[in-house]
């Protein structure tokens, strides 16, 4: 008899955003005319920028002509795409070789697939509150989990604990859900920990494009010693509105090896076996993000989301509600007012103000009492949300 992967039985019943969607749908079935202010799920709302669209159209044309047609692409990434990403890193002073960069269909896919490179008896350290996929992917892989608490006492960016033995360490900076960023000193401490323990850091840089403070690292590879202990997983989803278009990249330095095995070579072997790469058309569109004009245009879109964050932060300030994030990230992580629990606050906002946010508890037990707002909504809805928050809590 076939034995299924029994670890699936250890997963929590349903996924956070599915739970939220169900509650929202129930509310809408009772209030069909309600206009919901959706500041919950972290999906972008602005379209792809003109430079990307132009490149996509050009690539479609290429595929229509015998002379410019492309069949199978290199599994690890087209040379033009890898060079474009290499140039982007170089512009921030990080030297990579093009074959240390792998194209992907997004960070989610990579965060799961990359676990193929680790032994099933690995232990993964996840700093919670965390993006739920880290925990779930490791449960599916049968890994042991260390839930490492991040809290307001460490600004949601904890330092390593030498007494804890982990093989895989997740760092997400700028962080989803807290919006917190790791500074150089803290990242260096984690790099030193990983090199000392022989652990590998999976650095999730999905939100690096939102960093506005000069001295905050965009990449783990800005930190000395990281080339022997880190893999960086990046995405164009939030940088350039690719959530529905799908493209990202992963950086694996050639120096990264454990037990005599080189992780870059292992990933080449993995990709050439398990995928036939990303389409030519998508890679052309994605490469356009890194051109001068592409960078200018994606930053204009990010500025719209940043303005939303500023509107929300101003309202929270007026209400005296403490929060984190919002500055270098599209998320604001706030303390639920009136000592409400995070699902209690969710229900309260939905019923009293038709605002949908994300309960902190969904990102791990230590997220209880917190709530996440996303700044990816429409500016008009964000302004309305801010006004409603001030009406509800401005006099407390
Ligand atoms: N990593 C983090 C921290 C995220 O918040 C998300 C999406 O919300 C992802 C990865 C997944 O991004 P992608 O759309 O590239 O799969």
One DSSP character per residue, 79-105 reads HHHHHHHHHHHHTTT----GGGEEEES
The stretches in the chain having pLDDT less than 50 are none
Q: Which residues pair with 125 in a beta bridge?
A: 146, 169
Pocket flag, ligand 1, residue 248 (CB < 6 Å): yes
Task: Please give the pLDDT value at position 14.
Answer: 62
Phi then psi for residue 198, to 5 deg, are 75, 20
In ligand 1, the atom with minimum distance to the C-alpha of 109 is: 16
Task: Please give the pLDDT value at position 96.
Answer: 98
Q: Give the architecture (CATH level 2) of 12-41+294-393.
A: Alpha-Beta Complex (3.90)
Alpha-carbon gap, residue 172 to 166, rounded angstroms: 16
Ligand 1 mutation target, pool 129, 238, 289, most atoms within 8 A of CB: 238
Ligand 1 centroid distance, CA of 46 (Å): 17
Task: Please give the pLDDT value at position 19.
Answer: 85
Task: Please give the pLDDT value at position 48.
Answer: 98
Pocket flag, ligand 1, residue 243 (CB < 6 Å): yes
Tokens matching residue 171: 């760092």
User: Does the domain spanning 50-291 belong to CATH 3.40.640.10?
Assistant: yes
Domain boundaries, the chain: 12-41+294-393, 50-291
Task: Please give the pLDDT value at position 396.
Answer: 79
Alpha-carbon gap, residue 26 to 120, rounded angstroms: 40
Q: Any long-range contacts for 263-270 (C-beta under 8 Å, 24+ apart)? A: 263/117, 263/200, 263/231, 264/99, 264/100, 266/117, 267/76, 267/102, 267/114, 267/117, 268/76, 270/113, 270/116, 270/117
In ligand 1, the atom with minimum distance to the C-alpha of 131 is: 3
Ligand 1 centroid distance, CA of 318 (Å): 31
In ligand 1, the atom with minimum distance to the C-alpha of 106 is: 15
Pocket flag, ligand 1, residue 377 (CB < 6 Å): no
Is 287 in contact with 81 (CB distance < 8 Å)?
yes
pLDDT tens, 40-92?
Answer: 878 999 999 999 999 999 999 999 999 999 999 999 999 999 999 999 999 99
What strands, in cross-sheet order, belong to the sheet with 358-359?
A: 323-325, 331-335, 370-374, 358-359
Task: Please give the pLDDT value at position 18.
Answer: 83
Neighbours of 384 (CB within 10 A): 18
In ligand 1, the atom with minimum distance to the C-alpha of 172 is: 3
Q: Which residues pair with 233 in a beta bridge?
A: 204, 250
In ligand 1, the atom with minimum distance to the C-alpha of 43 is: 8
Q: Whose CA is nearest to atom 8 of ligand 1?
A: 42
**Mean pLDDT, the chain, as a whole number?**
96
Task: Please give the pLDDT value at position 146.
Answer: 97
Is 229 in contact with 199 (CB distance < 8 Å)?
yes
pLDDT tens, 280-295?
Answer: 999 999 999 999 999 9
Task: Please give the pLDDT value at position 12.
Answer: 81
């Amino acid at each position: 008899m076939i034995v299924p992967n029994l670890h699936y039985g250890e997963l929590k019943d349903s996924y956070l955003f599915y739970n939220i969607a169900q509650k929202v749908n129930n509310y809408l079935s009772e209030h069909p005319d309600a206009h919901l202010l959706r500041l919950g799920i972290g999906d972008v709302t602005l379209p792809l920028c003109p430079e990307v669209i132009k490149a996509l159209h050009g690539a479609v044309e290429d595929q229509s002509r015998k002379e410019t047609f492309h069949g199978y692409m290199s599994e690890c990434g087209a040379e033009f795409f890898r060079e474009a990403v290499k140039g982007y890193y170089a512009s921030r002073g990080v030297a990579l070789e093009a074959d240390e960069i792998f194209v992907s269909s997004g960070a989610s896919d990579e965060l799961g697939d990359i676990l193929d490179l680790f032994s099933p008896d690995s232990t993964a350290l996840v700093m919670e509150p965390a993006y739920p996929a880290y925990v779930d992917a490791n449960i599916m892989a049968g890994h042991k989990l260390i839930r490492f608490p991040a809290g307001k006492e460490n600004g949601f960016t904890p330092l390593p604990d030498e007494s804890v033995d982990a093989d895989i360490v997740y760092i997400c900076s700028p962080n989803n859900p807290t919006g917190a960023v790791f500074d150089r000193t803290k990242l260096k401490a984690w790099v030193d920990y990983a090199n000392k323990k022989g652990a590998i850091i999976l650095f999730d840089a999905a939100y690096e494009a939102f960093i506005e403070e000069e001295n905050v690292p965009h990449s783990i590879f800005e930190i000395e010693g990281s080339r022997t202990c880190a893999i960086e997983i990046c995405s164009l989803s939030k940088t350039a509105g690719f959530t529905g278009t799908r493209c990202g990249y992963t950086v694996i330095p050639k120096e990264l090896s454990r037990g005599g095995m080189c992780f870059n070579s292992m990933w080449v072997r993995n990709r050439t076996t398990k995928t036939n790469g990303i389409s030519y058309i998508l890679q052309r569109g994605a490469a356009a993000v890194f051109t001068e004009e592409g960078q200018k245009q994606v930053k204009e879109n990010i500025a719209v989301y940043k303005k939303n964050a500023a509107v929300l932060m101003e309202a929270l300030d007026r209400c005296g509600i403490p929060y984190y994030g919002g500055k270098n990230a599209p998320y604001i992580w706030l303390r639920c007012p009136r000592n409400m629990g995070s699902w209690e606050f969710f229900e309260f906002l939905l019923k009293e103000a038709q605002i949908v946010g994300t309960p902190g508890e969904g990102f791990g037990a230590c997220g209880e009492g917190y709530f996440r707002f996303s700044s990816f909504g429409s500016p008009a809805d964000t302004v309305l949300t801010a006004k409603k928050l001030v009406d509800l809590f401005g006099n407390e």
